Amino acid sequence: TLENRSVEAVGRMLKALEKRGEEGERGERVVVMTGAGISTSAGIPDFRSPTTGLYANLARLNLPYAEAVFDIAYFRNNPLPFYTLAQELYPGKYRPTITHSFIRLLHDKGILLKLFTQNIDCLEREAGVPGDKIVEAHGSFARQSCIECKTAYPEQGMKDAIREKRVPRCVDKACNGLVKPEIVFFGEQLPAEFFANRDLPTQAHLCIVMGTSLSVQPFAGLPALCREETPRVLLNMEQVGGIGSRPDDVLVLGDCDAGVRKLAEAAGWLEELEALWART
Ligand code: CNA
């Protein structure tokens, strides 16, 4: 168990896991769960922050309700608001944050079991976390297809459409369905890889949750799958998802970049982390 539910105790645990890995025991025991809050300092707005979030700034799109921009039923009738927003969110414009580099460091130390992310910005990949360590629970901009017949659509065509705020149509002219990036909209099923990996939290020895309001199911149910004795650390502006209710939960409330620096400091990794991030 963790002494005092403190950051120092989590730091000692990280070090111990690293040491076990070095001694040839399985050290890959940390699961990380992330959301839009880990990318806000990169310049990408989240959904729900009160004044800076996307939902607070969607008035110009004339939506009936804010979530409509990511709702598959709404998209069928009016895809243009999504394509207006996609221009801002499309990967390639932003630099990973030190929080993304912290996840990479966990992998470099041989202790990352899996990263579950709700983000579609691909910044974890850009920070160097390998694809087989990432579950993109809400999909990503990496692929695009017709929403009717599922036929794949070429990447360059999507890039052009997004740049021109134009709605692309199925390459099969007879179908002519709407095309969208394979990011998961409200009303759509999560990717198979989410369900294939969703029991991994039960194997974790440490769970780190960062930058998410934990308000979208089924992702929001992941931290509860951790065993009672597995410490869950929350690095977030606000307390969410009932984390804090178990004896070994640790709350590091505030900016997650500051939070990961505290964790890294406690594990003796701060210099290494700063150097890794500076190279990213
Ligand atoms: P959300 O509901 O907007 O919640 C964000 C959470 O992060 C809130 O609890 C904030 O308080 C917190 N937060 C914001 N900034 C910071 C910070 N600097 N440090 C610590 N905490 C912070 O976003 P969720 O990810 O929980 O919601 C799920 C949606 C949002 C997913 O489906 C994503 O696809 C979607 N989304 C993704 C991106 C992206 O890829 N970067 C951007 C916007 C929305």
pLDDT at 166 (0 to 100) = 87
Ligand 1 centroid–CA 118 distance in Å is: 8
Nearest CA residue ID for atom 15, ligand 1: 37
Residues whose CB is less than 8 angstroms from the CB of residue 155 and which lie 6 or more positions away in sequence, other chains included? 144
pLDDT at 22: 83
Distance CA 183, CA 174 (A): 24
Low-confidence ranges of the chain (pLDDT < 70): 1
Look at residue 1 in the predicted model and tell me its pLDDT.
61
Q: ipTM of the assembly? A: 0.97
pLDDT of 196: 98
Cβ pair 50, 220 in contact under 8 A? no
Q: Note the pTM of the prediction, 2 decimals.
A: 0.94
Q: Active-site residue 138, yes or no?
A: yes
Q: Cβ(79) to ligand 1 under 6 A? A: no
**Single-letter code of the amino acid located at 138:** H
Distances (CA, A) of 120 to 140, 141, 170: 5, 6, 22
